[in-house]
Amino acid sequence: PEVNVLVADDGLQHLALARDVEIAVMDSRGVGNGWMMPAGPLREPLGRLARVDALVMNGAAAVPAPNHVPRYEMTLEGARFYNLADPHIERDAHEFKGPVHAVAGIGYPPRFFAHLRGLGLVIIEHAFADHHDFCAADFSFLKNTAQEPEPIVVMTEKDAVKCVGFARYTMWVLRVEAHLSPDLMPRILELINGRKTA
């Protein structure tokens, strides 16, 4: 009963869901080939962008949104990892020596891999489909021998929550924070306060 604001992820395409503010988030891929699924990456036609309240860009891309839709910048930043088996243990990126296995079951794994390389990591890529339901068998490459230490794995926080049940001390999670244009939040509050509840 104390809640007066609900934030829904991926809610735009569910038209029956009442909403007061709509924000479209797009990344460096932009609109791809401009086609809707399954032929392209879009969930709705490009014309739908004319009806959103704001467009947030995670990386540079040319997005053909109308001029009346304000645009805001966003970046994901992070260089510190926590251990999946014991989140109290943390490491900086420069503490990982040699190649590490990078696992990603997100919408665009190359962005995660590029971020890791930008931190100076040498990685072996393991890309899975978005929302992949991880199981221990997905990490069969972790079998070690007496002569070799078990390989290190790094992953996203989104994927890590699915791997807690078989966590190992060789699994590390990249902690990231979203940095948004400072004028976005005042715009959202203005829109919320200026409208009646849905």
Instruction: Spell out the residues 6+ positions from residue 14 whose beta carbon is closer than 8 angstroms to its own.
Output: none
Contact by Cβ (8 Å): 105, 130? yes
Angle at the Cα of 115 from the Cα atoms of 89 and 83, rounded to 5 degrees = 15
DSSP 158: H
The per-residue pLDDT for range 36-80, each reduced to its tens digit, is 988 988 888 888 889 899 999 987 677 877 888 999 999 889 999
Neighbours of 48 (CB within 10 A): 16
Burial label for 57, CB within 10 Å (0-12, 13-18, 19+), is buried
Is the pLDDT at 5 greater than 60? The verdict is yes
Average pLDDT for residues 99-118, to the nearest whole number? Answer: 94
For residue 76, the surrounding DSSP H or E stretch is strand 71-83
Tell me the two tokens of residue 183.
């004028």
Q: How far is the CA of 13 from the CAs of 27, 36, 78, 139, 198, in angstroms? A: 18, 12, 30, 34, 17
In tens, the pLDDT along 56-68 reads 998 767 787 788 8
Tell me the percentage of the chain whose pLDDT exceeds 70.
93
16, burial (CB in 10 Å: exposed 0-12, middle 13-18, buried 19+) = exposed
In this prediction, residue 198 carries a pLDDT of: 47
d(CA 10, CA 158) in angstroms, rounded, equals: 15
Distance CA 66, CA 52 (A): 10
CA pair distance 66, 68, nearest whole angstrom: 6
Chain-centroid distance, C-alpha 178: 9
Strand 171-180 relative to strand 71-83, pairing = antiparallel
Q: Which two tokens stand for residue 51?
A: 């009806």
Considering 10-24, 28-42, 163-177, the range whose residues carry the highest mean pLDDT is 163-177
Q: Does the pLDDT at position 126 exceed 70?
A: yes
